[in-house]
Chain A
């Protein structure tokens, strides 16, 4: 008897709690209960990402609380769609469907590169993100925004990692030509991974292609590879074949980024190409010894990549979405990118605190060359395997 009474009481309590929540003038929120206890004007910003755990953890545990502390009127809800169907792409498709049917897209900010689905741009799904809508976008590094509908907010770039206990400061190469010279005079001491197995090797090969085509990454456009440029690839294969015998263990290429870092950490090689975030995190957690230092080429940096944010025009909390993007692009957000995830800022380094600039002075690059990928990658990888990694002469 008493248990039924308790159940009835509980049900009553629940109903009243739900009723209260329903009365609260919040925007559609999946978590209605906590909203009831907060200030009534709190509005929810739905953030969707399909990035790796380190990124989703960072947004959830570091960025969102810091943002909410600064802007108490917002409540950031992080939804992780990593490994769920097409990830962020599916959510973007859903937002378009909502736009067409005038429904709630259930997403306000999405980690997604709008250019990866041109049809959504054509359908007019995305909000323009420039300094008129996101004031901090004015600090963006030049040349990294590829579409006005997506804002790059963090990056990763390939850098040169070297063992400072074996290589003196004045010996460190600063241009690609110097690096090639260094590799030849120090046989067995340099390594990069197979270009298809890790971006740290892939972007080394890309940099060699830039080198023989006049150091101008802007020539390489997305889509069908330009035959004029492709016809110059053999010059890059010649360059890489020239250093092939001087690569670690007479031309052995490991099958991934981490395999390269292992060789560098255990002293098998004294220089290698590495992703900036992997190297910085490795140095921070001790998997790379402190004598490993990072540097960037000064003639034309190694290429990299950026993660981008997009905002659907039909977001039910457009102002909140833009405020959140603006926060991530601001000094607080960008410092957190560098300090908490070892990422590269998307904002110009000179907008960041002095001491941070000094700490990373050796890897700071004014530009981040972007390799278009797609069919270009197929040609790059095939060319490398058939001409560089092998000593088999190419026949017909």
Chain B
């Protein structure tokens, strides 16, 4: 240090600058990357290896076993089906709701927004028990219908519909939040000018709004698919005993059948599907909105 008395000034200004430019960013991203590596990539990699490296040889026997089991494949298809139906319903309900919240003003709109966001603050297990009491057999809904003389109510409790209703209700806030955020980027002036040239409501939506919120739509789609596909609490408490969603199936295989590799195989398949959808999400969010034609 003392042998280089001439350079202190330059090192003093350049070195901190370098530190700031080249070292600090890596230091800042190191914790999350380390966490991701240790808690996600490493165990995921281990899981994949464990399912294909059995008794000292590479084999896909576990996967063949999975796809040959009618129960497990039924569980997989059931999960696909519930996921598609949930996400479809979320768009059917969430999009009109978000359009309303984007353009409506006043107290009613504020109240609707409150209601739409409310499920955000309700934990899944509470929601499941609340729904059992509300729409379950001899529950609130059943009793009200009975009061006005309607009998023969079929409860969705312990049926696929039960899962569907609860998951949709739970995911509405996220859907509405992202879609309204997307819609706020559509400027009023564009809609007004479309109207000025005689566009109908439908044309305004389809030609102006829809192309501009595609990004939000993809985000809603991918994150809801991932969230629903791996759902556990709600399908566990509200769904049928069989078929079951993948989350429940994994827990079952691991805990009750004490079949670790079988559960891992299901986890890897679930992870693979969610990762594929995740790629779609990452590509959408990393692409800057300005970069699009």
Contact = CB atoms under 8 A, between A and B. Distances in A.
At the interface, is chain B mostly helix, strand, loop or mixed? loop
Contacts of B256: 196, 377-378, 381-382
B240 A394 contact: no
A249 B132 contact: no
A209 to B, nearest CB: 16
A390 B132 contact: no
A385 interface: yes
A253 B137 contact: no
Contacts of A254: 158
Contacts of B139: 266
Contact of A390 (B136, B137, B243, B258): B243
A9 B161 CA distance: 73
Given A255-B237, A390-B242, A378 B258 contact: yes
Contacts of A377: 256
A126 B30 CA distance: 53
A266 B242 contact: no
Interface in B95-142: 132, 136-139
A254 B128 CA distance: 13
A389 B138 contact: no
Max chain A CB contacts within 10 Å: which of B68, B136, B138, B256? B256
B137 A393 contact: no
B70 A395 contact: yes
A389 B241 contact: yes
Contact of A266 (B70, B137, B252): B137
A259 interface: yes
B155 interface: yes
A252 interface: yes
Given A196-B252, A377-B256, A252 B159 contact: yes
B126 to A, nearest CB: 15
A369 B78 CA distance: 38
Interface string A231-257: 000000000000000000100111100
A165 to B, nearest CB: 14
A252 B237 contact: no
Contacts of B158: 249, 252-254
Nearest to B158: A252
A268 interface: yes
Nearest to A201: B241
Contacts of B70: 392-395
Interface in B236-257: 236-237, 240-243, 252, 255-257
Interface in A99-124: none
B138 A385 contact: no
A390 B138 contact: no
A31 interface: no
A55 interface: no
B260 to A, nearest CB: 12
A267 interface: yes
B157 interface: yes
Nearest to B155: A249
A340 B158 CA distance: 35
A283 interface: no
Contacts of A392: 70-71, 74, 242-243
A266 B138 contact: yes
A141 B139 CA distance: 42
16 contacts: A196-B255, A196-B256, A249-B137, A249-B155, A249-B159, A252-B241, A253-B240, A262-B132, A262-B136, A263-B137, A268-B138, A382-B256, A385-B252, A389-B240, A394-B71, A395-B68
Given A268-B137, A381-B257, 4 more contacts: A249-B159, A262-B136, A378-B257, A392-B71
Interface of B: 68-71, 74, 132, 136-139, 155, 157-159, 236-237, 240-243, 252, 255-258
User: When A and B form their complex, which 5 residue pairs have the shortest distance between CB atoms, in order from nearest?
Assistant: A252-B158, A390-B242, A268-B137, A389-B242, A389-B241
